[in-house]
Amino acid sequence: MQKQDCHPVITEDCINCGACILVCPMEAIEISDSGNSWKIYWWACNCCWACARECPVSAITDINA
């Protein structure tokens, strides 16, 4: 079940730097083995938006934004 009402997604602007995964306190962001496909698991996310603040290219946004 979703903990809060936020839906962060990683857009195509992502440059695969990995910064978001390091700052996420919930380990809600996962990278695929190929290194170019990132997912944010909403069921784990606590909507702190640390990932979006850390992202150097503003690639993380709310899907409803």
Nearest distance from C-beta of residue 33 to ligand SF4, angstroms: 15
For residue 20, give both structure tokens.
């978001």
Is the separation of the CB atoms in 11 and 59 below 8 Å? yes
DSSP symbol at 4: S
Nearest distance from C-beta of residue 65 to ligand SF4, angstroms: 13
Nearest distance from C-beta of residue 14 to ligand SF4, angstroms: 3
Binding site for ligand SF4 (CB under 6 A): 8, 10, 14-20, 23-26, 28-29, 38, 40, 45-51, 54-55, 57, 59-60
